Amino acid sequence: MTTSQRPRPSRAAPAVDHRLAAPFRRARFALAAAARDQLPPDLGGIEVAFAGRSNAGKSSAINVICDQNGLARTSKTPGRTQQLVLFEMDDGRRLMDLPGYGYAKVPVAMRSSWRDLVDGYLRDRQSLSGLVILSDIRQALTDFDQQMLQWCAARQLQCLLLLTKADKLSRGAASARLQQIRAELGRSVQVDQFSALKKDGVDKARRWIAGVLQLDVTSPAA
Ligand SMILES: Nc1nc2c(ncn2[C@@H]2O[C@H](COP(=O)(O)OP(=O)(O)OP(=O)(O)O)[C@@H](O)[C@H]2O)c(=O)[nH]1
Ligand SMILES: [Mg+2]
């Protein structure tokens, strides 16, 4: 076979593991809370929250992980998600879409009320069992990303760092960036590249979340 005949590695969406995807496909919008007292009682259900800078791709990630367009609202305009938005899965398992941080164009008072909301949730929520931190693969980790990583380590909270929008870089550049961040952070945190557009890294993220939420992904897909 000549070089030109050799099949080129494809960037097409990877084959889906339907058993793994099934519980995510059953996720439903539960509520959007502007204050923590609007959340369901903190009685031991388990939650995985998605945190990251505004526009990092949190809501888009939830949509592809749950295989449901439009489940979480996305937007080109940073600051779209302004409340704690909760999605319910099986048996009291939940996914939480958090408002993004670092968006400068909102009024200071609103920014600080978002911060109080997110900080309070992260600090006090006993149901919080794992945190997915999302960061644009093209940008350096923000101070807040670093703080979140340190905070997860201090609290011994399971944490997954997703480097989003990997489709915006060439395969080689994305892989180099991934290796660089992994080397910076060491083995204490799982770091993966992710693309909502190309559905790259979706099953890996599902597997991590399923582990944290102790989802049953062995029964046949519905
Ligand atoms: N090319 C590309 N664009 C993406 C990807 N993920 C998200 N986007 C785009 O990035 C923008 C922001 O995405 P969102 O998912 O709304 O980001 P967010 O982090 O929820 O933003 P806030 O709610 O404002 O904090 C939208 O225009 C998305 O279409 C991706 O994997 N690849
Ligand atoms: Mg959002």
Q: Is the pLDDT of residue 12 over 70?
A: no
Q: Work out the pLDDT band at 11, boundaries 50, 70, 90.
A: low
Mean pLDDT of 205-209: 97
The confidence score (pLDDT) of residue 144 equals: 85
Between 35 and 106, the more confident residue is 35
Q: How far is CA 190 from CA 101, 160, 162, in A?
A: 22, 5, 8
d(CA 165, ligand 2 centre) in Å: 14
Atom of ligand 1 nearest to the CA of 164: 31
The confidence score (pLDDT) of residue 106 equals: 60
Nearest residue to 154 via CA among 121, 188, 187, 127 = 188
Lowest mean pLDDT among 26-40, 46-60, 91-105, 167-181: 91-105
Quickly name the fold that domain 16-213 has. Answer: Rossmann fold (3.40.50)
What is the per-residue pLDDT across 196-206, written as a single tens digit (0 to 9) for each? 999 999 999 99
Residue 173 has which token pair? Answer: 């550049």
Mean pLDDT of the chain: 88
To the nearest 10°, the Cα dihedral for 136, 137, 143, 148? 80
d(CA 188, ligand 2 centre) in Å: 27
Q: How far apart are CA 194 and CA 85, in angstroms?
A: 21
Q: Is the pLDDT of residue 10 over 80?
A: no
The confidence score (pLDDT) of residue 1 equals: 45
Is residue 57 within 6 Å of ligand 1 at its C-beta?
yes
Which ligand places an atom closest to the C-alpha of 134? 1
Q: Return the H-helix or E-strand segment holding 189.
A: none
Task: Determine the Cα angle at 215 with ends 212 and 217, to 5°.
Answer: 125
- Give percent above pLDDT 90 in the chain: 63
Is residue 53 within 6 Å of ligand 1 at its C-beta?
no
Is residue 58 within 6 Å of ligand 1 at its C-beta?
yes
The confidence score (pLDDT) of residue 44 equals: 72
Quick one: 82 exposed, middle or buried, by C-beta within 10 A (0-12, 13-18, 19+)? Answer: middle
Torsion-angle region of 49 (φ positive above 0: left; ψ -120 to 50: alpha; else: beta): beta
Is residue 165 within 6 Å of ligand 1 at its C-beta?
yes
Q: What is the widest separation between alpha-carbon atoms in the chain?
A: 65
Domain locations in the chain?
16-213
Q: Is the pLDDT of residue 29 over 90?
A: yes
What is the per-residue pLDDT across 76-117, written as a single tens digit (0 to 9) for each? 877 667 789 999 998 889 999 998 876 655 666 666 777 788
Quick one: 180 exposed, middle or buried, by C-beta within 10 A (0-12, 13-18, 19+)? Answer: exposed
Q: How far apart are CA 135 and CA 145, in angstroms?
A: 8
Atom of ligand 1 nearest to the CA of 82: 23
Q: Which residue has the least CA distance to atom 2 on ligand 1?
A: 165
Is residue 40 within 6 Å of ligand 1 at its C-beta?
no
Q: Which residue has the least CA distance to atom 11 on ligand 1?
A: 76
> What are the b/e assignments for 83-93, b being 16+ CB within 10 Å?
bbbbbbbeeeb
Q: Is the pLDDT of residue 62 over 80?
A: yes
Is residue 63 within 6 Å of ligand 1 at its C-beta?
no
User: What is the CB neighbour count within 10 angstroms for residue 101?
Assistant: 21
191 forms beta bridges with: 161
Q: Work out the pLDDT band at 47, boundaries 50, 70, 90.
A: very high
Between 215 and 108, the more confident residue is 215
Q: Is the pLDDT of residue 210 over 50?
A: yes
Residue 143 has which token pair? Answer: 């101070």
